[in-house]
Amino acid sequence: MLRGADVHFAYGPGQAGLHGVSLDVGRGGLVGVLGPNGSGKTTLLRLLGGLLTPASGRITIDGRDVAHMTRRELARRIAIVPQETRLSFEYSVLEVVLMGRFPHLGPFELESPDDVTIARDALAATGTLALADRPYQTLSGGEKQRVIIAGALAQATDLMLLDEPTAALDPGYQIEIAALLRRVSADRGVTMVVATHDLNFAAGLCRDLLLLREGRVLASGPTAEALTRESVRALYDVEADVTFHQGAGHLTVVPLRRLRGTE
């Protein structure tokens, strides 16, 4: 469904970018992109979403080059959940979620009762329907993130790109967001690519991983195969214990020490 083939990109001469990155995400897939800060995770998401254009290589959806799709076409196929959403005006929660319906409206067309129903269904799916009339800015960090995900659901796309969806959230909200994304993936068949530096979040959520360092792929494949002591060492210069946790039901990563000679 979503494919990146030998993608190269740089913001400028000598600046960090991506170097020959390839990935394949099947329909309904749930792929995590892991890497330290500056590894190219956000850049890759922007390329996949058509916000940036590769210097070489191709990004395709169902075989169609993203570079040849209009903004409206892309918005009907891809929903993007950024690290942080700041709004200039005091919108209600329902108004924020209704923004997800814009790609489906014609010029000067207002939201219909059907659009409102879709938005309210998305709020219900994320457990935020009771917040519909609240000002968005009054919400907690976890509530805001669930509302933004509701907006992505209201967009009615089959592909969702999420950039650090649990950044700055406490452990309780991290568990909540992970459970929400698993449910959306299972119930709605939404294909997801999740960029994160949280190894345990990725291990508990994602079926496949792509590991990036300095814009290059270190490893990729099923989570149980890609996430190892060796790959964590190569990715973060950290010795870690990577084991299957019976209670959690997935791999867990416990950092032990930073390797000597690293900055």
What's the rounded Cα separation, in Å, for the pair 242 and 153? 34
Cα torsion 198, 202, 208, 214 to 10°: value is: -10
Whole-model pTM: value is 0.90
DSSP bridge pairs for 78: 159
52 vs 174: which has the higher pLDDT: 52
Q: Which long-range contacts (CB under 8 A, 24 or more apart) does 121-125 make?
A: 121/154, 122/97, 122/150, 122/151, 122/153, 122/154, 123/93, 123/94, 123/97, 123/147, 123/150, 125/150, 125/153, 125/183, 125/184, 125/187
Report the pLDDT averaged over residues 179-187. Answer: 90
Report the pLDDT averaged over residues 214-242. Answer: 95
User: Domain coordinates of the chain in residue numbers?
Assistant: 2-258
pLDDT tens digits for range 64-92? 999 999 999 999 999 999 887 888 788 99
Superfamily of 2-258 according to CATH: P-loop containing nucleotide triphosphate hydrolases (3.40.50.300)
Secondary structure class of 259 (helix, strand, coil)? coil
Report the pLDDT averaged over residues 174-199. Answer: 91
pLDDT tens digits for range 102-128? 999 888 788 899 999 999 999 998 989
What the block records as the tokens of 90 is: 């005091």
- The pLDDT of residue 207 is 95
pLDDT tens digits for range 216-228? 999 999 999 999 9
